[in-house]
Structure 1
Amino acid sequence: EEEEDEDQRSRNDQDIKLSIKRSDTGHQHVNHHHFLFSAPSSFSPDQDSDTNLDLVAQSSFSGVETAAASAAVRRRLARILRAADSTMQRRLAQLSTELARTDTELLCERAHSQHLAQERQEVADRERSLSRQVDVAVMVIAALKEQLNASENELERREREVLTIQKFLEAAARQETSGKVRIQHFIENLLGRIALAEKLVEYYQVNSSQPRCNHYKQQSDNGAHRITKSRSAGGQLFSSGLHDNRAQSSSQFGPSFSKAGLDREWERRERLAQSSRLFCRPEHRDDIWNHQRRRSTGYEA
């Protein structure tokens, strides 16, 4: 469009120049004829009148031609001016539109630039905030790692303590079991000795002869001494004393035992077994122990 406008403008300029040249040429032609026919003054009156008529006709013809040429030039000039004005108006409108569009684009670019600057500032602020959060998170993670290590160390220490306590409890349970077995054996031995002493007392009550009573009293004293010694020694001499007493009682009292003696022996063993079973129960252990201790104390006295 700009090239077409330039071509139109150049053609209009050329047309204006041609019109001006034609008008100048017409004026020069009229003046030339005027001077050509008015210069000589030596003609006659008839010649002068004819000449004047010719000059008037030529001048009138030249004036009409000049007026027509001038009108044509004016019309062409007006048309050229209107075309130039329309072209200028169209060009101005186009330039105004382009300027408005450029202003709009410039405003859009400026708004976009401001938006980008704002987003850049927000991103920078967010980056600083995230950096601070990351630093705090790193510190918290380090503290949690320290707490975790401390907790692991404490857990290992507690596990070692639990293992130590478990081993101690196992050892205590083994010692308790062995102690219960030894106490049970000791009580069984003690009950056996008490039963043997009861037999001796019964035998003393049956036999009323003084020499045999003295003899058995000495044996009873020896047996009581052995019981006291065995009790003080913790039941270590039970086997030997018990076998000796049983041998003595079987050798010395064997002929005197009858069916009643065998029944009493059987009842004694039943009481011994029942006492052993009851002693293993915590609710009967103290009563049996106190009862047997009172009986033992009475026999010793």
Structure 2
Amino acid sequence: MSSKRHFLEFEQTIADLETKIEELRYVQSESAVDISDEIERLSKKSQQLTKDIYSSLSPWQVTQIARHPQRPYTLDYLGEVFTDFEELHGDRSFADDQSMVGGLARFNGQACMVLGHQKGRDTKERALRNFGMSRPEGYRKALRLMTLAQKFGLPLFTFVDTPGAYPGNGAEERGQSQAIGHNIFAMAQLEVPIITTIIGEGGSGGALAIGVGDQVLMLQYSVYSVISPEGCASILWKTAERASDAAEAMGITAHRLKALGLIDKIVNEPVGGAHRDMAQMAVYLKRALGDALRQVVDLTPRELVNRRYERLKSYGRYTDTTER
């Protein structure tokens, strides 16, 4: 990841303070003047300012954090949380979609299967990974890995981070919607534990295609929705400029989705988001994944499938309070 920190628009006051701190550090390194006390004071002020700003984020600001260019991606977590990762490629039909990565690994010494969306860091990699938007061959590769997990009785960990499935002509011609639907159908019937984590953007069917889980986790500053705020605003108000209004109305944040019963657990992030401290975020995530796996690892295949069915039936429940 880039060492130069990227600040979002609403973090400008933090950026100004951090710039001043860096200038003082440069002065101290180039002269004999001891200004360490002032640097420490400003550092504490920056930390507190970050806490204050992040304690009252709007859904649109959370969306921007979920899309942060320095936010950890699937491969970052695979390198920190898992060991012995061996990537598997291709869908055995058309191509190797590099926006979807996965393979065999070990979690706390236990063999498992891992897969997830992968975005790119720079322009070249973003083009290679198609900005994390998978084509049908990506979802068919994911399905191949899920089938392998079932064959060998391995728990499956999936990591969701996509704006949505790629909507291009070629993808549609090769059966994009069929690939997504087939994955959802297959995941519902897998007889191994599935732990799903939304680590950034959970966009539409592109997220659901690897998002049917026995335990669904969501990072604190990630989002999960049927459409992007910009897309929703374009439909409702004919302009993407009202994306912030759409984000507010859609209920896309972790705390809102937890209250609705659509996810099981929120994984806290370091102050200022996962991109501020990747190592600490990996520690939090590893602990949460371990807790989630322990809750389902001893269930029988029939119990796993039945729980997924009951979970699906519970979505959208409501209470009619009108008087008759």
TM-score normalised by the chain length of structure 1: 0.22
Please identify which structure carries the higher helix content.
1
Please identify which structure carries the higher strand content.
2
The structure whose Rg is larger is 1
